[in-house]
Amino acid sequence: MTDTALHPFDRAVALQPVEGQPGLYDGHTSPDYWNMVGPFGGITAAILLQGALRHPQLLGSPLSLTVNYASAVVSGPFQVQATPVRTNRSTQHWLLQLLQADESGEPQVTTTATLVTALRRETWSQTDLHLPQVPAAAELERIASLAKGVAWVQQYELRAISGGIPSKWDGSGEHSRSQFWLRDAEARPLDFLSLAAMSDIFYPRVWLRRANPVPAGTVSITTYFHTDVAQLAEAGTGYLLGDARGQAFRNGFFDQAAELWSESGELLATSNQIVYYKE
């Protein structure tokens, strides 16, 4: 579990199957992907996805993943339970849970998820969203940090084209859109796990919109995967272009929509999340 030869991401998503209990795995939180009061939501999404991807009954590849952050994950061991609820000819429906023992040692659900995996075949294809026209990553500065004590940002090379972290928290915000070039800080070929994690890489839109870092946290995220193993291999260790914006901010919750494009202009994933905020 602490094989330092592995990439930090692979250490963070490592799961050990529990013998005799199919779909049950042991894991451990990673300090490398720590957020303010718990793990980076993206790493938790990747860990849950990993539970299905390592399952012997897996059919196809990820199509749709919804992760619900029901309660805080604390530093330490956890278990993942991955259950194929229904397997059809070309799609498979999963329930996923992350469990941690409470003070009395009883396992409690901290995170729930549903996943659809699918066997895909070639069809007519078309992208109706437009690839943003942006400057090259080399021309842009790297985002150094998000906030004190936030480790996970160091695991990514994030270069803001627009909508970077506000330089002044003075309530002057005017919009909620960010465009980033992004990739793993330590080179790692893109796969479904890292793509799932990167879908949550856009800091809370409410911070940008208000230039005010109010308490905020993702409640639920849904990511649709529009890609396959061949396309992921082509993306490799290159940059992704991320584009995210807030939609409706109302009475303590807002939603944000995001897209992740490959450097060569393929739309790899679209993602939406609903986020709690205070005040």
The footprint of a copy of itself on residues 165-184 (CB under 8 A) is 175-176
| Least distance (Å) between residue 113 CB and a copy of itself | 8
Binding mask 117-156 for a copy of itself (x = CB under 8 A): -x-xxxxxxxxxx---------------------------
What does DSSP say about strands 77-87 and 24-28: parallel, antiparallel, or unpaired?
Answer: antiparallel
Q: Which residue's CB is nearer to a copy of itself, number 37 or number 136?
A: 37
Q: Which amino acid is at 256?
A: Q
Gap between the Cα atoms of 82 and 26, Å rounded: 12
Q: Cβ(273)–Cβ(220) under 8 Å?
A: yes
Q: Which residue's CB is nearer to a copy of itself, number 31 or number 215?
A: 215
The sign of the torsion formed by the CA atoms of 63, 240, 156, 143 equals negative
Gap between the Cα atoms of 168 and 212, Å rounded: 9
Gap between the Cα atoms of 257 and 222, Å rounded: 10
DSSP character for 141? P
Piece of 8-16, 21-29, 47-55, 218-226 that binds a copy of itself (CB under 8 A): 218-226
The footprint of a copy of itself on residues 87-106 (CB under 8 A) is 88, 90-91, 93, 95
Largest distance between two CA atoms of the chain: 57
Binding residues for a copy of itself, rule: CB under 8 A, are 63-64, 66, 68, 70-71, 85-86, 88, 90-91, 93, 95, 108-110, 112-114, 116, 118, 120-129, 175-176, 209-210, 219-220, 222, 224, 226-228, 245-253, 255, 257, 259, 267, 270, 272, 274, 276-279
